């Protein structure tokens, strides 16, 4: 667990965070993340869960930041945390073709588009 700024911290996600992770989504019935697999991280601000990310076998399966907290580098910190704690040298993300915000986000971190998988574009970062 480490602090970012004065009142934000990142730590491993636990089952107790599940409800708060689900409430980050705009979807009516968001898919429950399986916290028993991979590396799972939450960002907390003032004790509130404001972001979540999951990395499993080198692939980012989930990344979400509370709508009112976006563009404050929270997702950037979540991805850095995953890189640091996983020790992975290569990370992939699959982004839907119409999700331009997320594509811009991964590009901002230096991820490169390497191909397509179904309806998603594959982005890769090689360290």
Residues near ligand COA (CB under 6 A): 63-65, 70-76, 93, 95, 99, 101-102, 104-105, 108
Q: How far is the CB of 125 from ligand COA (least distance, A)?
A: 13
| Alpha-carbon span 116 to 4, nearest angstrom | 34
Secondary structure E strands in 39-117: 39-45, 48-56, 59-65, 90-96, 112-117
| Alpha-carbon span 109 to 44, nearest angstrom | 21
Q: How far is the CB of 40 from ligand COA (least distance, A)?
A: 15
Using the minimum distance from each CB to ligand COA, give the nearer residue, 104 or 117: 104
Q: How far is the CB of 77 from ligand COA (least distance, A)?
A: 7
DSSP 8-state assignment for residue 32: P
């Amino acid at each position: 667990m480490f602090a970012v700024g004065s009142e934000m911290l990142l730590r491993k996600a636990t089952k107790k965070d599940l409800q708060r992770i689900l409430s980050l989504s705009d979807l009516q019935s968001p898919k429950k993340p399986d916290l028993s697999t991979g590396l799972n991280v939450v960002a907390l601000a003032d004790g509130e869960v404001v972001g979540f990310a999951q990395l499993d076998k080198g692939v980012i399966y989930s990344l979400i930041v509370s709508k009112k907290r976006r563009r404050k580098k929270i997702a950037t910190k979540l991805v850095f945390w995953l890189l640091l704690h996983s020790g992975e040298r290569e990370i992939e993300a699959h982004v839907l073709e119409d999700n331009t915000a997320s594509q811009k986000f991964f590009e901002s971190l230096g991820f490169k588009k390497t191909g397509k998988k179904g309806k998603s574009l594959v982005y890769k970062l090689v360290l």
